[in-house]
Structure 1
Amino acid sequence: MSSDYSARHLSVLEGLEAVRKRPGMYIGSTDSRGLMHCLWEIIDNSVDEALGGYGDQIEIVLHADQSVEVRDHARGIPVDIEPKTGLSGVEVVFTKLHAGGKFGGGSYAASGGLHGVGASVVNALSERLDVEVDRGGKTYAMSFHRGEPGIFADTGEPTPDAPFTPFEKQSELRVIGKTKRGVTGTRIRYWADRQIFTKGAQFQAEELLGRARQTAFLIKGLGIHIRDETVEEPTEAMFRYEGGISEFVDYLAGDTALTDTWRLTGSGTFTETVPVLSPSGTMVATEVEREAEVDIALRWGTGYETVMRSFVNIIATPKGGTHQLGFDQGLLKFLRAQVEQNARRLKVGTDKLEKDDVLAGLTAVLTVRLAEPQFEGQTKEILGTPAVRAIVANVVTKELKERFASTKRDDKAQTALVLEKIVSEMKSRISARTHKETQRRKNALENSSLPAKLVDCRSGNLESSELFIVEGDSALGTAKLARDSSYQALLPIRGKILNVQKASVSDMLSNAECASIIQVIGAGSGRSFDLDAARYGKIILMSDADVDGAHIRTLLLTLFFRYMRPLIEAGRVFAAVPPLHRVIVINPGSKPNETIYTYSEAELHAVLSDLKRTGKKHQEPIQRYKGLGEMDADQLATTTMDRRHRTLRRVRVEDAESAGRIFELLMGNDVAPRKEFIVDSSDRLSRESIDV
């Protein structure tokens, strides 16, 4: 604790100093993730107000000076004196751990805040925090320096470097203006303390946008406005949705719908024993009755990926918890019963559904609202309230029973499709386990021998082996001579393979090129893909350096992303980088000429400028490679295949959800969004870069 802290606030700072010494206990880490967690704490306070029906607009500004500001138009933090401490409500919220409207209930029926430490933790970990409150026709203000209240002597724009004077005898909640009658709200701006956070910690704008969009989906009618001033050209985004979690499911789903989006709602009560502070100041174990409200939106699609999002009082629980266990339990139990009732029609025999069969192709958003939920830790990633499990399971069972018993034509058709899909998934799983391959691949890959066109390598060492997928037979001939046969295998493909984003699974498997690729890699496809069974350590896509080559590479990447994604996630898929030009530099006398390969027009111009500057000559015309077949074996080996000289581009998936939407946009069935994207992006492309 620094020496300028006044004695009056030693008791206040005692708790906050513990936060500064062990920040990871409260925010998880001190890198960018912890920095974002602090921002979520402040935003979630405004969101909880909106959840309670107060305020329908939240503004977030990432300032250029690395501060962040959150504004809302809710009730405003209380400004009256809290009798036990003698401090204003504002000071209590920002300096006392386990204090606030959410701790112990009262002001909020359901909220994301539980422990009453969010705002005070952010204050403790901020070099400066300013808060303004509109309430009762006045605007109140207070500032803090690393948790201690006082006044900054600003001479212009507020900055944490301004001289700071702590309050010595009594804190002052300043009145700095007046507001119109009925205008309320809170504005908080803070500068994260660089003594606490690591040097590279930064606010993640994309993560903020994703969280804001998610929150707007979860609270119907709430508008969230974000302005990012940390970039050269400030950007703005606005999110507001009137649909709710049904719209959220439609947004998350990346495959073709098999059913409409179904809404399952209900509630249940439970009792729990909690410690309650008595008037005498002691904690007394008291049995209280709670109500849990459940709201679920879900739909099945034709794909096999599962997209699941769960929330408790608008707070995301990425690691699940009792509510998600209840959802899985209720869904599996009910659908097992339905399959057993229709066993003869579905031809299932005595086989039983498993959870993966039911979840295949499912997109679901699960939300639960209850007072004082039990989370595992301040980061709130797992719900621990035990009684919620049975309540969610009962709601799922009851609502689905009504849906499956409905006599409406659409409901009957869609429930039949769901049963057929999950039974198909079950049969596919059983077939894969029994025959070492899924039923989906059975017809296409019936022959166990490898394709005749595969030029395999001699080495059985997985780590060193490489499979080159080569465009065309002409390139294959050159590549055979250029490769190192001990560890480099070649598989030629004819032109452009099927666009699997548009095609069905059966169409993909009946396509000879797709089936050959799956068979040669040897690890299966879709849900049954086994990364450990892959026959090669690296998969390298080697296509021509022209527009057609880029298209072929895109089609191949679509196949890998959709049916063999673990290969990409493991970093085992690469794109070869063949050169575009060969420049032969003429050396004087008997000195041999020098060969320079360039990989872009800009690099070629740079090389030619450098030769001109140094007075060196080069052979004309400069060779421009249109295809791999134009190179001889030595050139291909040197530039593209020899590990000592080649360049490879590793294909990565930073955000699978975002990547899925891009693949659907660029390669899917819906033409209108793709046309709009091409038109909007056309100004970014120079005509010279188009190979025509």
Structure 2
Amino acid sequence: MAKKQAYGNESITTLKGAERVRKRPAVIFGSDGLDGCEHAVFEILSNAIDEAREGYGKLIIVTRYADRSIEVEDFGRGCPVDWNEKEQRYNWELVFCEMYAGGKYNNNASENYEYSLGLNGLGTCATQYASEYFNARVFRDGFEYHLHFKKGEIDGQMEKKPADRKKTGSLFHWKPDLEVFTDIDIPVEYYLDTLKRQAVVNAGVTFRFRNQAGSKFETTEFCYEHGILDYITELTDGNAFTMPQYWETERRGRDRADKPEYKVKITAALCFSRNLSRLEYYHNSSWLEHGGAPDKAARSGFVSAIDAYLKQNGKYAKNESKITFQDVADCLVLVTNCFSTQTSYENQTKKSINNRFIQEAMTEFFRSRLQVYFLENKQEADRIAEQVLINKRSRETAERARITVKKKLSGNLDIANRVQKFVDCRSRDASRRELYIVEGDSAMGSVKLSRDAEFQGIMPIRGKILNCLKADYARIFKSEIITDLLRVMGCGVEVRDKHVKDLTAFDLGSLRWNKIVICTDADYDGFQIRTLVLTMLYRLVPTLIREGYVYIAETPLFEITCKDKTWFAYNETEKADILKKLEGKKISVARSKGLGENEPEMMWLTTMNPETRRLIKVMPEDAEKTAFYFDLLLGDNLAGRKEYIAENGSQYLEMADIS
């Protein structure tokens, strides 16, 4: 055994250079998977956006190559890469090889970037470090600069020559490294979604996406001349019941008394619609997928302003409860696009911000602007109030109905009296309840003695049920076995037929069980009953199979006893493994009895105990394929079944009950 090294002063080490990213990409990019690889692209794109927003270049070109490499080109001022007298180093070293280096660290309105998306000084360097190769071409000061990197290290030297064009800008072409990320095949949809969002929040900037397909490039462009206002108009497509509004303001403040003051610019576009609900928050061009401060501000500001209007105008009924933000959001289309000179992101992936001042400023902004809007647009204000109250009352009605159904389902059910031989469990909590479908009365007796009566119910199948793929609905719903089982499950059926009678339409929320467990003997008859039950479920309630509520209980084939200890083998391989371990000892091997003959302790251990039982979840990956085999083996296609058995029957001879 290897001797462990002591944990001493020499045990502490640091990651240096490219290792800081290549060995821990999730720390910088939020993930070492595809999400992290996508975020690395956004870091480069962010710098191009910052240039365009400052007025340097109105076109950004993003290219997705067939070999999964990426290129981002902007027409800004060009990334500084030449000698830096102040730092006594080349700027390319700082930009591409130095974490937390850049021109965006001044919290005040700097001469370079007032509002910056690429603020953290990690993007270009971190992406370069995480690349198989990274090539940079920079046009500025009348020169063209070339830099080449491989796996985070400079390859050769910087090349500098007179530029052959007047336009300045930066062009970066790189390929994410599979040694860093587990997946680098960024889908087209990511680019289209990201570039469209950036076009929305960067008014007048054109984002051109080129996707290489074979030897050709498919090109898509996004540009919103009036930014979020055009986007709101596009989203609603003339179906809003209020006119789109565009509001903006600037505020100054601080997150805490001892923190520096900073500036925030707030812009919002909104309208109300009966056909669409949409809330999107952006900060410094970054889409805040998880919201944070802007979302909290919208919730507080909108509810406060609309609730005040409802009260002032007598819109509430007597003793009616207050509206919630959900009632507002159900008819609200809101896009905010804010910028600040200081931003507190929850992490490097920039999906949420938590600045206290930004939240307070936006809350007051929404509240005050809505109050003025309501005063100046009485008809629209009344329409908004009416729709919000309709949403509220609909929500409350649905909630009351849901509670009523829940009480009905979880109350003292009378199923046990109406369904012959069904044995219920004590728990009313549908998330815990398990229904065991067993064959015959003897099996039910054994299962009943071995179950946990708190959460395990039993439904016996009396004989073989109909083949539901062959029988028509008239025959199916005349079968008491089938209709009783459907009543016990409680979720109704997914077919519409005049013969359904008192069975309700399908509602997954009404299912009384968390697991439907088919428990049959491990013999020919047991397999056939199991298949018939599965066929019934597949035809009448296929959603239960699709959503993973249906299970098969594996029952052991052999009991192997040595002295006073017993092992259970579920197949020949397990049996052989156990016998090998017990080689040389006196043992007895017996074929496992049917469920009805098993001792309660054995049944609990092998079939009922959640800690030790074996359940197989029935989850068909391809519903069409499942339907095909059900129909082939149990349907009316006799010729097809004969052909299938002739071709494949030899594989199952060992399982056949032939003597």
Distance across 2 between alignment mates of 1:380 and 1:295: 19
Q: Which of 267, 291, 310 does residue 295 from structure 1 map onto?
A: 267
Query: One-letter code of the match for 1:188?
Result: F
Q: Distance in 1 between matches of 2:256 and 2:368?
A: 28
Q: Does 1:239 align with 2:222?
A: yes
Provide the rounded CA distance (Å) in 2 between the counterparts of 1:459 and 1:135: 82
State the partner residue of 1:310: 281
Q: Residue 142 of structure 1 corresponds to which residue in structure 2?
A: 147
Partners in 2 of 1:356 and 1:78 — Cα distance? 49
Residues 582 and 331 of structure 1, relative CA distance in 2, 3 Å threshold: closer
Q: Retained in 2: the 8 A contact 1:16–1:147?
A: yes
CA distance in 2, matches of 1:135, 1:379: 30
Matched, 1:367 2:333: no
Letter in 2 for 1:333: S
1:57 maps to 59
Per-residue deviation at 1:485? 5.2
CA distance in 2, matches of 1:349, 1:459: 46
Alpha-carbon distance in 1 for matches of 2:325, 2:300: 9
TM superposition shift of 1:313: 0.7
Q: Secondary structure at the match of 2:297?
A: helix
**Which amino acid in structure 2 is aligned with residue 402 of structure 1?**
V
Pair 1:186–1:492, CA change in 2 (3 A): closer
CA distance in 2 between counterparts of 1:456 and 1:333 reads 57
Please, what is the CA RMSD of the aligned residues?
4.9
CA 1:388–1:581 in 2, change beyond 3 Å: closer, same or farther? closer
Cα distance in structure 2, aligned partners of 1:139 and 1:79 = 10
> Is the 1:267–1:291 Cα contact (8 Å) retained in structure 2?
yes
Q: Distance in 1 between matches of 2:383 and 2:69?
A: 52
**Aligned residue in 2 for 1:133:** 138
Q: Tell me if structure 2 keeps the 8 A contact 1:348–1:423.
A: no
1:66-94 deviation line (CA, Å, top 9, x unaligned): 21111111111123422233233333211
Asked whether the 8 Å contact 1:457–1:488 carries over to 2, the reply is no
* CA distance in structure 2 between the partners assigned to 1:69 and 1:312 by the alignment: 25
Alignment correspondent of 1:415: 381
Aligned match of 1:334: 305
Q: Which amino acid in 2 is paired with 1:365?
A: V
After superposition, what is the alpha-carbon deviation per residue over 1:377-415, rounded to whole angstroms, capped at 9, x for unaligned?
A: 211122122111111112111211121001xxxx33221
Q: Distance in 1 between matches of 2:288 and 2:632?
A: 57
Aligned counterparts of 2:489 and 2:196: Cα–Cα separation in 1? 46
Specify whether residues 575 and 299 from structure 1 end up closer, same or farther in structure 2 by C-alpha distance, changes over 3 A only: farther
Cα deviation digits, residues 229-288 of structure 1 (max 9, x gap): 2669753322222242123334555995332322232221114689xxxxxxxxxx9x64
Is this contact kept in 1: 2:374–2:380, CA < 8 A? no
Q: Using the alignment, how far apart are the partners of 2:622 and 2:318 within structure 1?
A: 42
- State the one-letter code of the partner of 1:134: F
Residues of 2 paired with 1:18 and 1:103: CA distance? 21
Query: Which residue matches 2:172?
Result: 188
Q: CA deviation at 1:579?
A: 4.8
What residue identity is the alignment partner of 1:418? I
Determine whether 1:216 maps to 2:221. no
What residue in structure 1 maps to residue 394 of structure 2?
428
State how many pairs are aligned.
490
State the Cα deviation string for residues 640-663 of structure 1 (Å, max 9, x = none). Answer: xxxxxxxxxxxxxxxxxxxxxxxx
Seen in structure 2, the aligned counterparts of structure 1 residues 342 and 133 have a Cα distance that, compared at 3 Å, is: same
SS in 1 for 2:281: strand
Q: Is the 8 A contact 2:203 2:227 kept in 1?
A: yes
Matches within 5 A, 1:334-353: 334-343=305-314, 345-353=315-323
The AA in structure 2 aligned to 1:381 is K
Is 1:38 paired with 2:4? no
| Deviation (angstroms), 1:422 | 1.6
Give the structure with higher Rg (CA).
Answer: 2
Partners of 1:17 and 1:574 in 2: how far apart? 44
For residues 341-365 of structure 1, the C-alpha deviation after alignment (integer angstroms, 9 at most, x for no partner) is: 122x442535222222222222211
Q: Which amino acid aligns with 2:27?
A: M
- Matched residue of 2:18: which SS? helix
Counterparts of residues 273-672 of structure 1 (less than 5 Å)? 288-302=260-274, 306-343=277-314, 345-406=315-376, 411-434=377-400, 436=402, 475=473, 477-478=475-476, 486=485, 491=493, 517=505, 520-521=507-508, 578-579=627-628, 595-596=639-640
Q: Distance in 1 between matches of 2:137 and 2:392?
A: 58
Asked if the contact 2:84–2:90 (Cα under 8 Å) also holds between the matched residues in 1, the reply is: yes
Aligned to 2:240: 257
Check 1:597–1:327 CA distance in 2 against 1; reply closer, same or farther (3 A cut): farther
Residue of structure 2 aligned with 1:90, choices 65, 73, 92:
92
Q: Hey, what's the Cα distance between the residues in 2 that align with 1:377 and 1:319?
A: 11
Q: Which amino acid in 1 is paired with 2:381?
A: T
Question: What is the TM-score when the length of structure 2 is the normalising length?
Answer: 0.63
Partner of 2:409: none
Gaps of 5+ in 2: 1-13, 406-412, 425-429, 438-467, 517-534, 547-618, 648-659
Q: For 1:367 and 1:58, how far apart are their aligned partners in 2?
A: 20
Q: Within 1, Cα distance between the matches of 2:100 and 2:28?
A: 12
Asked if the contact 2:48/2:60 (under 8 Å) is kept, the reply is yes
Could you list the runs of 5+ residues in structure 1 that have no partner in the other structure? Answer: 1-11, 152-171, 275-284, 440-448, 496-512, 524-532, 544-548, 558-570, 585-592, 599-606, 615-692
Q: Distance in 2 between matches of 1:96 and 1:428?
A: 57
SS in 2 for 1:131: strand
- Cα gap change, 1:535 to 1:464, in 2 (>3 Å): closer
CA shift in 2, pair 1:438/1:137, >3 Å: farther
Matched residues in 2 for 1:517 and 1:21: separation?
A: 55
User: How far does residue 373 in structure 1 lie from its aligned partner after superposition?
Assistant: 1.0
In structure 2, the partner of 1:178 is: 163
Per-residue CA deviations over 1:456-477 (Å, capped at 9, x if unaligned) read 99797866699xxx99x96454
Cα gap change, 1:405 to 1:358, in 2 (>3 Å) = same
- Contact 1:58 1:224 (8 Å CA) reproduced: yes
The more displaced of 368-377 and 246-255 is 246-255
Establish whether residue 23 from structure 1 lines up as the match of residue 56 from structure 2: no
Q: Is the 8 A contact 1:431 1:438 kept in 2?
A: no
Structure 1 outlier segments of 4+, above 6 Å? 230-233, 455-466, 533-538, 571-577, 580-584
Deviations, residues 52-111 of structure 1 (Å, cap 9, x unaligned): 222111111122222111111111112342223323333321111111122235211001
CA contact (8 A) 2:18 2:153 kept: no
Question: Aligned AA for 1:132?
Answer: R
Question: Quick check: 2:278–2:334 contact (8 Å CA) kept in 1?
Answer: yes
Give the superposition deviation at 1:197: 1.5
SS at match of 1:380: coil
Taking every aligned residue pair, what percent have the same amino acid on both sides?
23
Match among 99, 122, 126 for residue 121 of structure 1:
126
TM-aligned CA distance change 1:321 to 1:420, over 3 Å: same
Decide whether the 8 Å contact of 1:270 with 1:387 is kept in 2: yes
Change (3 A) 1:247 1:516: farther
Q: Structure 1: how far apart are the matches of 2:263 and 2:273?
A: 33
Check 1:377–1:582 CA distance in 2 against 1; reply closer, same or farther (3 A cut).
closer
Instruction: State the 1:292 CA deviation.
Output: 0.8
SS in 1 for 2:155: strand
What CA distance in whole angstroms lies between the structure 2 residues aligned with 1:292 and 1:457?
A: 70
1:3-57, CA deviations, whole angstroms, 9 ceiling, x for partnerless residues?
xxxxxxxxx9934332223221100111111111101111111111112222111
Instruction: Check the 8 A contact 2:489/2:512 in 1, yes or no.
Output: no
Q: What's the counterpart of residue 465 of structure 2?
A: none
Write the letter of the residue equivalent to 2:322: K
Indicate whether 1:229 and 2:212 are aligned. Answer: yes
Alignment check: 8 A CA contact 1:269 1:289 kept = yes
